Amino acid sequence: MSIEEQDQTLKRIFRPTPGTTKPALRAMLEARSVALVGASPRPGSFGLRMINEVGRSPARPDIYLVNPRYRQIGGRPCFPSLADLPGPVDLVLLGVPDAALEQQLSLAASRGDASAVIFGIAHEDPAAAPPGVAPHPADPVPAHRAGGSRRPDPAGAPQGVGPRRPDSAPAQQAGGSGPLDPAPALPHGGPGRPALRGRLASIARAAGMELCGAGCMGFVNVARGLRAIGYVEPDQLPAGPVALVTHSGSVFSAMLRSGRAIGFTLAVSSGQELVTPAAAYLEYALALPETRVLALVLEAMREPGRLRAVLASAAARDIPVVLLTVGSSARGQAMVAAHSGALAAQDGGWEALADAYGVHRVRDLTELADTLELFAIGRRARLPARPTGPTDPAEVISVATKVQSGSDIPRAFGKLRKFLVYSFLQLY
């Protein structure tokens, strides 16, 4: 390979991955028709909360209730199955136990439904493995899921609250220390059988569906008037310039209930991101003229190239980005793994990303809220111009040569370390 060819190859590697809002993603976030699988009239049930929350959507989408136990709920017709709906819908909310997720998502995919939200954590009970498939001994029930009755109610959802609330690792943890994670780590499903989370992702991808979750709280598109949640959140959320994407359901709820002068265009609890990553929601948010601030609370770095492209776009448009990362301590990393099956991203990776694109890193929820409130009202400190990263091949060769020859190692090592982390991000 010639020098010119090598140079072109390096430039291709170092170019951020561009992204555009896919039709299925727009259909999900601006859904005009929504199916609620697991709808229920039972007071206090998750199914009833889905009905109430989606019903509060100012956009007033067409709502289809699905549950074989009822012919109508609250005066609305209730269909026995997704197969009985008059046609495909933009969005399916799956308020069902984990054991029913694969069947229901497969049905939605076969009908041509555009997208789905999976609230449950998609845990597969080893005892439920099909005949001939040995359960994997290292697939325990996460601690935050333990307890509570599993007796099904008439709506087909677990007794009590339906899908388990996707509580997250404490958001007060800053930074991260663990391998970069371009894809969710999935629990084993047994020899020759993909894990449930992997099977759900495969079903959605094969059908071209977008998928929010699993282990999420859904989303609220304030700018377009859609509430796709099953947990009680404040009605009439304040509109404003902030687009929030968080892996943590706890942070999602805390920010919506903060009472601060923070208005939203979009708020997403993306959970495990089995299919649709944080960067996809951010691409959509940047396309909204109302979005003037991006807020991220992330445990793992998925599709780094796509995320870099979003951050580059925000920097070019002078849109501030505020980042809180989770998983700096050993306990925080364990909590991240229990929450989403992911490995907490390296702090060096976050640092390189922040340095390259002028991202404002914060240490805890209080700092996050303070910073967003300032940005929301138009107050901001101008950061000095920052480098876009050591992407010059000549610089790379120079640093590598110094390290290899043993000369000027102390000065070169820090530079090389940042380059290696930055280069890793650009490979994905």
pLDDT digits (tens, 9 = 90+) for 181-224: 333 434 445 556 789 999 999 999 999 999 999 999 999 999 99
Parent domain of 318: 216-376
Q: Is the pLDDT of residue 171 over 70?
A: no
Same domain, 256 and 302: yes
Same domain, 207 and 61: yes
Same domain, 325 and 200: no
Sheet with 115-118, strands from edge to edge, namely 72-73, 76-79, 62-66, 33-37, 91-94, 115-118, 210-212
Instruction: Please tell me the predicted confidence (pLDDT) of residue 192.
Output: 61
Q: Can you tell me the mean pLDDT for 317-345?
A: 66
The more confidently predicted of residues 129 and 77 is 77
416 found inside a domain: yes
Instruction: Please tell me the predicted confidence (pLDDT) of residue 21.
Output: 72
2 found inside a domain: no
Q: Is the pLDDT of residue 257 over 50?
A: yes
Same domain, 100 and 237: no
Q: pLDDT, tens digit, for every residue of 376-403?
A: 988 665 555 444 444 444 454 444 444 4
Q: Which of 424, 400, 399, 297 is nearest to 348 (CA)?
A: 424
Instruction: Please tell me the predicted confidence (pLDDT) of residue 378.
Output: 85
Same domain, 198 and 294: no
Q: Is the pLDDT of residue 65 over 50?
A: yes
CA 117 – CA 269 distance, rounded (Å):
10
Instruction: Please tell me the predicted confidence (pLDDT) of residue 194.
Output: 84
Instruction: Please tell me the predicted confidence (pLDDT) of residue 265.
Output: 98
Q: pLDDT, tens digit, for every residue of 126-156?
A: 665 554 443 333 333 333 333 333 333 333 4
CATH number of the domain enclosing 354: 3.40.50.261
Same domain, 208 and 297: no
Average pLDDT of the chain to the nearest whole number: 78
16 found inside a domain: no
Q: Which of 87-101, 172-186, 256-270, 375-389 has the lowest mean pLDDT?
A: 172-186
Same domain, 126 and 35: yes
1 found inside a domain: no
Instruction: Please tell me the predicted confidence (pLDDT) of residue 166.
Output: 60
Instruction: Please tell me the predicted confidence (pLDDT) of residue 155.
Output: 38
Instruction: Please tell me the predicted confidence (pLDDT) of residue 249.
Output: 95
Same domain, 365 and 409: no
Q: Is the pLDDT of residue 119 over 90?
A: yes
Instruction: Please tell me the predicted confidence (pLDDT) of residue 205.
Output: 98
CA 319 – CA 321 distance, rounded (Å):
7
Instruction: Please tell me the predicted confidence (pLDDT) of residue 10.
Output: 38
Q: Which of 97-101, 165-169, 358-362 has the lowest mean pLDDT?
A: 165-169
Q: Can you tell me the mean pLDDT for 14-32?
A: 78
45-49, 155-159, 373-377 — which one is most confidently predicted on average?
45-49
Same domain, 222 and 315: yes
The number of domains in the chain is 3
Q: Is the pLDDT of residue 86 over 70?
A: yes
Q: The whole model's pTM is what?
A: 0.74
Q: Is the pLDDT of residue 329 over 60?
A: no
The more confidently predicted of residues 93 and 168 is 93
Q: Which of 38-52, 245-259, 274-288, 386-400 has the lowest mean pLDDT?
A: 386-400
Q: Which residues pair with 360 in a beta bridge?
A: 322
Same domain, 208 and 236: no
8 found inside a domain: no
Q: Is the pLDDT of residue 122 over 60?
A: yes
